[in-house]
Amino acid sequence: MSVASGTNMESMKTDLPPFPLIGKNPDEEPPRVRFAPSPTGSLHVGGARTALYNWLIAQGARVEGDTNASFIVRVEDTDVARSTKESEESVLKDLEWLGLQWDEGPVTNGDFGPYRQSERADLYKSVARILLDSGKAYPCFSTNEELESVKEAQMKAGESPRYDGKWRDADPELVQQKIDAGDPYTVRFKVPKGARVVIDDVVRGTIAWDAEATVGDFILLRSSGVPVYNFCVAVDDATMGITMVVRAEEHLTNTLRQGLILDALGAPRPRYAHCSLILGEDQQKLSKRHGATSCNQFKEDGFLPDAMINYLSLLGWNDGTDREIFTRDELVDSFDMSRVNPSGAVFDMQKLKWINGNHLKMMSIEEVKPLILEQLIKHNVLNSNGASDSINRITLAATCLAKQMMVTTVDAATNAKAVLAYPLPQSFDDLSSVEPDEQKLIKSGAFYNVAKAIVAAYDAGVLPRPNEVNVMEPFEELNGELIVEDNATGGGAYAYPAAWKTFMKTLGKEMNLKGKNLFHPARLAMTGVMSGQDVTKQMALLQLACEFGSAVDLEGGLEVVPLEVRIEMLRGFLETIPEEFRVKKEEVVVKEVVQGKKGGGG
């Protein structure tokens, strides 16, 4: 039977393409692993984990001295209706953001390209022609209506739907007549009778299929001449010399078809490793309904690429210890596919945040500051058109303030907004806007007495406050890093933090208060919230925002409440507090708070 004149099979080469692994054992060759995304959307965390595991295999081999190990990206874009260039670019950008740089693939190219399936159509057709000529594939002229009728009959009989083999052993003359007449046909793979496919899966152990009973004769080329997914993948893996295929368990049935094709071509099969699916907390496959699932969204939400890499590696793998924090280099040294668990891995957002927070703490101020700047601008805290020196100082302060408490870089922007605002209720009747513990503090009388003393100190000009000289002092030491160039003028080093400490010590003595009974009311009076970060750091950031007003994004809706406005708001609120909540049961009388030099270093 000749098919050269068929509309689907014209102008095709008949030589078998080179298969680099012919006559070789893939396990003994330098690792050539691939990540093969379909450009139909963003890079999902499941795909990112697959890419990571493949990348780690190649990187680990290099560390051990195998310089020929390669991580390949191959774009599987045969689904013309859904594949877009924009999605491809998005996936590649996400891989770059994660730091998973490929050795061969789009942009970088290589010796086994092209690396987009849409650019390899002639190769697929030539291989299909070889399979046809060797009798391992055949033309099928069954119409969609005929196939649907067969499927319905099989389902009614309780059978698994599969092709009935009508054209498998058709009369060659009849086949040629239909080809010559221009009748449309698909090309089907002829599954050998009694064929079994057995693989030794790195993750799941031995898996065997009765090929004939499981899949039947499947399509290689559609009637339009477009190759189907499994055919493309098998041909690509063979011609690119892929030694191991690492992918999700949902591809197991694809492995059966691909194994049959590779066997028919005489190409060695790569090793296979089918990882578990990533699940939501409801044990269902992770999807958008579980929240963020795309790498781009995690990037937008302030997660670090190294933290994502760390967390994704743990979704099914461990190093045999309880360790959970790894640097990228440590993962390369530790990773081994033999320790990947076949059980489903649950995506835990809280654990990801915990890991991200740990990676942020591991970074230096200078490393994390550019990331914080990006978020401060994005979330309308800073105006990108402001003076660079002003922006730098505010960013440094916001970074230092949030460094030890943030779990994502977005938290620094959220924290800065909270510090610059003043969420004290407008009146005693408006206590629903504050937390229950704050309500209790206000009603106990402790807040009234401490706040009244702070207002009195401000009116007397003795409430410590930062100025242009000492405004950065609260951030002087963080993680052992010196961040202020000159603090030796204007009242001596650490004048503002020292003055505030002295003020609070004196206030506590005269009011017979200490610990949280003193500091919580003072923080609530100064910042509008009872708990939080060091008051001097918060006031320093506020001073910077007021001092460098052109650098903050007031037009974007940022609320900045200066200290003098806070004092007036506080004064007004104190007047609304009922008499029974103004004095504690011990009848503490508010005395003069601070004696000595006016200004207290501020």
Residues marked active site are found at: 288
| Packing angle, helices 252-265 and 229-239, rounded to 10 | 60
Q: What angle is formed at CA 158 by the lines to CA 156 and CA 163, rounded to 5 degrees? A: 80
Strand-pairing partners, residue 186, are 140
CB neighbours of residue 78 within 10 Å: 21
Q: First-to-last CA distance in the chain?
A: 97
Helix (H) or strand (E) holding 516: helix 516-527
What contacts 7, CB < 8 A, 6 or more positions away? Answer: 182, 184, 225
Which pairs count as long-range contacts for 201-208, CB under 8 Å and 24+ apart, including other chains?
Answer: 201/272, 201/273, 201/274, 202/244, 202/246, 202/271, 202/272, 202/273, 202/337, 202/338, 202/340, 203/273, 203/274, 203/275, 203/276, 203/337, 203/340, 203/341, 203/342, 204/249, 204/274, 204/342, 207/252
Provide the 10 A C-beta neighbour count for residue 199.
22
- φ and ψ at 557, to 5 degrees? 100, 5
Q: What is the Cα–Cα distance from 449 to 444, expressed in whole angstroms?
A: 10
Cβ proximity of 533 and 401 under 8 Å: yes
Q: How far is CA 199 from CA 22, 186, 249, 338, 341, in A?
A: 18, 29, 13, 16, 18
32, two tokens: 């050539």
